[in-house]
Amino acid sequence: MQEELIDVLDENGNNTGKQKPREQVHKDGDWHRSFHLWIVNGNDVLLQRRSAKKDLEANKIDVTVGGHYSAGEGLEEVLRETEEEIGLFVRPETVSHLGQNKIERNYKGAIDREFQEVYVLEKNQPLDHYYLNCDEVFAIYEVNIDKLINLYQNGGFAAANGWDCQQRVNNALLIEVDLIEQARAQTLKTLKLVKGWMLEPKT
């Protein structure tokens, strides 16, 4: 099977014209593009618990859907991640762009340097309508936006309705140890943007 290639960017987010496999990009600490999609349902936000099989931040809670742009991909193509991870087909015109985050995280044997393109989508459907890929996502959780912001900002806990990749109810009490610590401050900023978007009048 041919390895997925990723466009290598410079520190300003410009395409260098080089392409590398994902693993090599992380090993070399190259800048690259990633895709983040937050799904909201009323006053709630959906999170995923990453699979235990993930090479970085296994078992931690994270954005609803996240992934990498393959070489040459745009929004329409990268939305495949949503279907691959949680079984939801999404069209580009239904998502709203919240902005771009420039992040750097350091791990043993890897440096993750990303320009994250952040989107939000309102989807009013119950958790048991999602079909999760166990290799990518162990469970999804639905959490009140204010309680989630408080968890990231102040710690403590947040109660969550949950649904796992074996199609079982999997409710949880999310606590600080569940968070990706290196992403905590940036995620808090993003969740506040998501809340602002939720409060905007929709036509």
- The per-residue pLDDT for range 16-56, each reduced to its tens digit, is 999 999 889 999 999 999 999 999 999 999 999 999 999 88
By the 8 A CB rule, do 78 and 35 touch?
Answer: yes
Rounded to whole angstroms, the Cα distance separating 45 from 141 reads: 8
Which pair of structure tokens corresponds to residue 1?
A: 């099977």
Q: What angle do CA 100, 51, 140 make, to 5 degrees?
A: 70
Judge contact between 65 and 82, C-beta under 8 A.
yes
Name the residue among 129, 127, 138, 9 with its Cα closest to residue 68. 9
Local confidence band at 201 (pLDDT 50, 70, 90 cut-offs): confident
User: Given this model, what pLDDT does residue 148 score?
Assistant: 98
Round to whole Å and give the CA distance between 110 and 23: 9
pLDDT at 196: 97
SS3 content of the chain, % helix, strand, coil (to 5): 30, 40, 30
* Pair of tokens at residue 120: 């939000």
Q: pLDDT of 76-124, one tens digit each?
A: 999 999 999 999 999 999 999 999 999 999 999 899 999 999 999 999 9
- How far is residue 148's CA from residue 159's CA, in Å, rounded to a whole number? 9
Host domain of residue 136: 5-199
Q: Look at residue 1 and tell me whether its pLDDT is greater than 60.
A: no
pLDDT at residue 55, as a whole number: 86
Report the pLDDT value the prediction gives residue 93, as an integer from 0 to 100: 97
What is the per-residue pLDDT across 49-64, written as a single tens digit (0 to 9) for each? 999 999 889 999 999 9
Check pLDDT > 90 for residue 203: no
Per-residue pLDDT tens digits for 141-188:
999 999 999 999 999 999 999 999 999 999 999 999 999 999 999 999
Note the pLDDT of residue 202: 75
Cα-atom radius of gyration of the chain, to the nearest Å? 16
In 6-60, where does DSSP find H-type helix? 22-28
- Per the structure, the count of domains in the chain is 1
pLDDT at 46: 98
**Could you tell me the pLDDT band of residue 2, with boundaries at 50, 70 and 90?**
low
pLDDT at 3 over 90: no
One-letter amino acid identity for 101? N
Of 99, 104, 95, 106, the closest CA to residue 190 belongs to: 99
CATH number, residue 93: 3.90.79.10
